[in-house]
Amino acid sequence: MGQKYHAKLVNASEIIKKAHQNKYAVGHFNINNLEWTKALLEAAQEKKTPIILGASKGAIKYMGGYNLVVVIVNSLLDSLNITVPVALHLDHGQSVESCKIAIDAGFSSVMYDGSHHPFAENLKNTKEVVEYAKPNDVSVEAEIGTIGGEEDGCSVGTGEIGDPKEAAEMVETGIDFIAVGIGNIHGPYPTGWPGLNFQALEDIQDAAKIGIVLHGGSGIPQEQVKKAISLGVSKINVNTELQIAFVAAIRKYIEEGKDKPENGKGFDPRKLLKPGYEAIKATFDELISWFGCKGKG
């Protein structure tokens, strides 16, 4: 018998550097359960596309903890024979300790989000995370400014625009990519949203000269996404868009009565969740076409 292929998580540094140099963006897709993770990994492999799987504090708790998330992802890498680059990223780590726990559990990338602290404290804590991450071959994302909207049901800011000088200082800590506030928000975009601040993005890119992360990627018009990528955005975070597609597909299945006992075993959760599963894959395919990363794996 041949030796079994063992897939390995990679840190996101080289994935993002390549995207930054070649003017495309890699998708960071949040996972919420087994179906979510399996659908995204299958879709990435089918489309030969690198992917960053993101796990927020709330999702990690829901899925059973840091260690279990790592086991699920690593097991799927092997059982699905995944060969494209895959990073497992802690999304919005709110403390240095949470980043260290994720690194110890086997995450290959972490975000320290110190945007709720004064900049000096954010900088100091980010440096501590970088010093812990690098010996473990883990990439680090930091944040300046704030991203508006909600993350895991909690308000995470009103949308403060990032300061280019702060971006330059943050890069000096040794981070691999940086999240910035440029008018983007988490969750659905409201009517009357003014759009992304491209001048701020240009100024921050000139100062940082590394890949920029666009949080709140769900719902930003395609032309704005493409312009942001041309100006240095190399990682785009998506969660809400997949959730909406997942729920809409399952709602349709139920409204058509396919879950009723008289219609066979449509109530089996494997059948009930399948339309949502397929919707995640379809949405992934559409978004990576926008981002320009399809086939880059």
Boundaries of every domain in the chain: 13-239
Topology given in CATH for the domain delimited by 13-239: TIM Barrel (3.20.20)
Between residues 205 and 151, which one has the greater pLDDT? 205
Most confident of 124-138, 155-169, 178-192: 124-138
**241: pLDDT strictly greater than 80:** yes
Asked which of 18-22, 193-197, 208-212 is least confident by mean pLDDT, the reply is 193-197
Place of tokens 């945007």: 115
Q: Give the mean model confidence (pLDDT) for residues 175-193.
A: 81
pLDDT at residue 146, rounded to an integer = 63
Q: Which amino acid is at 98?
A: S
Q: Known catalytic residues?
A: 91
Residue appearing with tokens 């403060």: 160
195, pLDDT greater than 90: no
Percent of the chain with pLDDT over 90: 79
> Which pLDDT value is given to residue 147?
62
* β-strands 86-93, 51-56 pairing: parallel
- Per-residue pLDDT band for 278 (boundaries 50, 70, 90) equals very high
pLDDT at residue 1 in the model? 42
Each residue of 140-162: pLDDT tens digit?
Answer: 999 997 665 554 544 444 457 88
What are the residues whose beta carbons fall under 8 Å from the beta carbon of 94, sequence distance 6 or more? 57, 113, 116
In this predicted structure, the answer to whether residue 287 has a pLDDT above a threshold of 50 is: yes
Average pLDDT, the chain: 91
Of 289, 291, 287, 284, nearest to 213 (Cα)?
Answer: 291
pLDDT of residue 153: 46
Per-residue three-class SS string for 101-126 = HHHHHCCCEEEECCCCCCHHHHHHHH
Could you read off the pLDDT of 93-127 as tens digits, one per residue? 999 999 999 999 999 999 999 988 999 999 999 99
